[in-house]
Amino acid sequence: MNEGAAGSGQSGLGPRGSLVMSLTLTLLLGMLSLLVLFPAAEHLRSLRDGERADATLHTSGSCMIGQCRVEFEADGRTVVADLPTGSGGGKQSVGAAVTVRYQADDPQVVARDEDVGGGGAALFAWMSAGAALLFLVLSAVAAVFLVRQRRKASAGAGVAG
């Protein structure tokens, strides 16, 4: 009788499923770091030498994913600009005072002064990259386990046959 994993008291994906899942998570976390979070952190750092202005939080939301807006004065006009992905300050309410830095030639490119070192994007980029590395190691362990299991099965088949 062939009992499935559910009937045998075992749970989980098995070694092949674990290998595929670990490689998938490695790929997704690596892409998140390389394609989203590291560029977001670099964008925040690029505003380090930008013009400084006092601003108020115009729209609050999840600033980490770029859903906050600030209002400030630049060259005598009022500017309402989106804070970039990776910004902090999401727990502040609308109307809260913040200091921002913006590009002199384009005031729509703005970041909170506290975030120009890379902000939360840099932290999450390194955490995501570390998790990708962890899943890569787990994939290697699963691959070694599969090879050993296959060798043991083929050695057993050769003796029994």
pLDDT tens, 31-58?
A: 999 998 899 889 889 999 999 999 998 8
Rounded to whole angstroms, the Cα distance separating 4 from 21 reads: 20
The reported pLDDT for the residue numbered 66 is 75
- Predicted pLDDT of residue 63: 78
- Is 60 exceeded by the pLDDT of residue 5? no
Band of residue 3 on the pLDDT scale cut at 50, 70, 90:
very low
**What's the confidence (pLDDT) of residue 78?**
94
- The H-or-E segment that residue 106 falls in is strand 106-112
CA of residue 109 relative to chain centroid, distance: 22
Cα–Cα distance for residue pair 18/135, rounded to 1 Å: 10
Q: Where does residue 78 fall: left (phi above 0), alpha (psi -120 to 50 degrees), or beta otherwise?
A: beta
Which stretch of DSSP H or E encloses residue 8? Answer: none
* pLDDT tens digits for range 114-152: 889 887 788 888 999 999 999 999 889 888 988 888 888
Specify whether the CB–CB gap between 86 and 37 falls below 8 A.
yes
pTM of the model as a whole: 0.69
| DSSP-assigned beta bridge partners for residue 98 | 55
pLDDT at 1: 45
Cα 73 to Cα 51: distance, rounded to the nearest angstrom: 11
